[in-house]
Amino acid sequence: MQAPPPDLLQRAFEDPAPRSRLIAGMALALFEKSYGSISVADVVRLARVSKRTFYEHFSTREACYLATYEALSGTLLDRVEQTVLSEPNVHQRLQAAVQTYLSSLQEVPALTRTFFLEIQLAGPDALAARRKVFQRFAGTLQNIVRRGREDGAEIRLLDESLAVAIVGAINELIMVCLEEERGHELSALQRTVVELFEALLRPHINMPSTG
């Protein structure tokens, strides 16, 4: 079994509370097999708790999977938001955000694959949770751009619709890599994503009238 990197999964693995142990157990199970093949028995075995403890915290396997997705996605976005704080300008902040997002997903290809390609198997609640995570990432990008404009950068305002569109483009590129079994190459997408950002953030140029 592939050992999960401790930095991205540290919170779940270090917390002795039964709920956190179950989230860690689900994460470990996802390293072993696809979500559709995982049973509650797999999760409790890896979490080292009883089935009774499982059902005290989660009503279904899907609920535990969803909690795992939310916990690990939250850790990922916390990392992204923390990374950009030390960067001196908007361009470097955006580069740092993209690099951290992609490299963190690349660290855990099994989890990235399930959360991007298999999550629909967990039903509408999982899709709603994924939308919430993507909206938070879009909001983070908006905040980076807003701060840059406040610092005097001559860049276009990133409104909510455009930010969501950018996140959608990033995640589509990720899914293509995963479908082509190139989850270990996600960091290579950084240049493309940064170029997309730079193009979209250029100020509008008013062309002279020819009439």
115-170 per-position pLDDT tens digit? 999 998 888 898 899 999 999 999 999 999 999 999 999 999 999 999 999 999 99
| Domain ranges, residue 123 | 6-201
Answer whether residue 188 is part of any domain.
Answer: yes
Alpha helix positions (H), 108-204: 109-113, 124-150, 160-179, 190-201
What pLDDT is recorded for position 8?
56
> Which two tokens mark 146?
């807003």
Answer whether residue 1 is part of any domain.
Answer: no
The answer to whether the beta carbons of residues 8 and 72 sit under 8 Å apart is yes
Answer whether residue 112 is part of any domain.
Answer: yes
Answer whether residue 208 is part of any domain.
Answer: no
The CA distance from 7 to 48, in Å, is 21
Residue type, 153: A
The CA distance from 85 to 63, in Å, is 34
Answer whether residue 209 is part of any domain.
Answer: no
What pLDDT is recorded for position 202?
87
Whether the predicted pLDDT of 205 surpasses 90: no
Residue type, 96: A
Answer whether residue 207 is part of any domain.
Answer: no
Whether the predicted pLDDT of 3 surpasses 50: no
What pLDDT is recorded for position 121?
84
Q: For the residues 71-89, what does the mean pLDDT come to? A: 93
Answer whether residue 166 is part of any domain.
Answer: yes
* Phi–psi pair at 33, nearest 5 degrees: -155, 170
Work out the pLDDT band at 70, boundaries 50, 70, 90: very high
- Output the average pLDDT for the chain: 89
How many domains are contained in the chain?
A: 1
Give the CATH number, domain containing residue 87: 1.10.357.10
